[in-house]
Amino acid sequence: MTDETLKFSVKFGKNAYELSFPSTTMVSEGQAAADALKSAKANQIAARKSVPQATTRPSLPVMSAQEARVASWSKTGIIGFRDSGLQEIPCEVWGVGSAGRVLDLGSNHIMSIAASISQLPNLQKLRLDGNSLQDEGMPWEAMTALVNLTHLSVNSNRLNSLPEQIGRLASLKVLSVVSNALSVVHGELGKLKKLQHIALAGNRLETLPSGLAGCEELVELDLRNNKVSVIPESFRSLLKLQVLSMDSNLVAAVPPVVLRECRSLHTITLHKNPLTVEQFRETAGFSEYEGRRIKKCSKQIDMRVMLNRDGFDEGIDNMEWQHW
């Protein structure tokens, strides 16, 4: 290929000069300039890439509302559904497992508790007040797996009985089954050696199991508004019993051995029973009981504790039942 010649005219002052160059020389120089520019840009890009960039934290997966609730329950140990309009217990509750300590299902419309409740082995407090639970809706056998349960409240439901399995809730300290339809309380309840408070007011109980005397740690027994006519003499074994509430029953007498031997008993309430103050005062053992009652009231006064209006009430109606 023949090189072409490029000619240029250049004037300096009055003189003119003609210059000629091979075209290949110009092309080569132009190409070199273009290559240099391209190389400079490449180097600039490479330099930018070599600068360390700020590290970004990987984004966490978005947690669903259900997962967030379970995480919160697992962290606090408290599962709360009070007054939530529930008809059944959400399945995710059981996923909390051993982290669950408190389960509050009060004031709902629940008719049955799933046997899956046994999956909460560390549950300490179970509140089922104000639902529609009947006997068949209580998984008593499954609940025996709740070896750490200390508080059980099933107030304002429709239970007719407390079965023998209740005696296997060995850690129970507080049992409240107020305002149900109980007519039977199994004697196995007496196997609960840690039980301190029993509330069975507002039921249909006519008799009390003598085995109840086995609750050797019992401090308070509330049996108001039932149909009980006899206080078992076996209650003499309740040496730590302090308060016996039996208003609105059919009790006509208090066993003398209970008054004498229940050495912690300082409060008996028997309003609206067929027993007058005079009859009660004439009961053998009354003086021992009365001494404890007065000592309790005096202690409250000495400690400047405000007594309620029944502070000095002897616990029995004065005249209402005297003509029975």
Structural contact between residues 157 and 132, judged by C-beta atoms closer than 8 angstroms? yes
What b-and-e string marks burial along 264-290, b requiring 16 or more CB atoms within 10 Å of the CB? ebbbbbbbbbbbbbebbeebebbebbe
Alpha-carbon distance of 66 to 58, in angstroms, equals 23
Biggest alpha carbon–alpha carbon distance for the chain: 155
What is the DSSP-derived secondary structure letter of residue 87?
S
Within a domain: 324: no
pTM (predicted TM-score): 0.77
Within a domain: 227: yes
Strands 15-22 and 5-12: antiparallel
pLDDT of residue 311: 47
- CA-derived radius of gyration, the chain: 43
Structural contact between residues 215 and 189, judged by C-beta atoms closer than 8 angstroms? yes
Within a domain: 123: yes
Range of the domain at 108: 76-302
Within a domain: 215: yes
Within a domain: 12: no
Within a domain: 270: yes
Q: Give the model confidence (pLDDT) of 235-256 as tens digits.
A: 999 999 999 999 999 999 999 9
% of residues, the chain, pLDDT over 90: 69
Within a domain: 205: yes
Within a domain: 100: yes
Q: Give the model confidence (pLDDT) of 268-293 as tens digits.
A: 999 999 999 999 999 999 999 999 99
pLDDT of residue 15: 58
Q: Kindly report the CATH number assigned to the domain that includes residue 155.
A: 3.80.10.10
Q: How many domains does the chain have?
A: 1
What confidence category does residue 324 fall into, taking pLDDT thresholds of 50, 70 and 90?
Answer: very low
For the ranges 23-27, 114-118, 198-202, the lowest mean pLDDT is seen at 23-27
Residue 8 scores a pLDDT above 60 = no
Alpha-carbon distance of 110 to 87, in angstroms, equals 4
